Amino acid sequence: MSESFYSFNRPGAAPSEGVRRAFWMWSMQAGLKGAYDCVAQFSETDFTEDLRRIDVPTLVAHGDEDQIVPIGASAQRTAQFVKDATLKVYPGAPHGLVDDFEKAFNDDLLNFLRG
């Protein structure tokens, strides 16, 4: 699962054994039932009305190479429903923003918070 989460399965990817092991550790801490229930909620529940009620500036960040949650079904729609949303797309970024994407995200988050 970490292969698609971090796009380690893409041509030219340089998988990190440390990231893979951390992913495994986090997965084991979540537990099977919790992970299953989480996937069921985010894949089967319509949160549109909840998103429309958000009334604070919101940063929506997403990689356009996300193999877990497609950007068109999530971030792009979220940015449409949240009144004061800023959509930040990371070209080539997987679901798990690591390495260069992590730095870019952290920089963007700090700039967003500084307003």
**Looking at residue 107, what is its pLDDT?**
95
22-61 residues labelled b (16+ CB within 10 A) or e (exposed): ebeeeeeeeeeeeeeeeeeeeeeeeeeeebeeeeeebbbb
pTM of the model: 0.83
* Number of domains making up the chain: 1
Indicate which CATH number applies to the domain containing 17: 3.40.50.1820
**Looking at residue 84, what is its pLDDT?**
96
CB atoms under 10 Å from CB of 71, counted, come to 18
DSSP symbols for 7-73: TTTSTT----HHHHHHHHHHHHHH-HHHHHHHHHHHHH---HHHHHT--S-EEEEEETT-SSS-GGG
Q: What is the pLDDT along the chain (115 residues), one digit of tens a residue?
A: 788 888 899 899 889 899 899 989 988 898 889 888 988 898 899 999 999 999 999 999 999 999 999 999 899 999 999 999 999 999 999 998 877 799 999 999 999 999 9
Domain enclosing residue 92, as ranges: 2-114
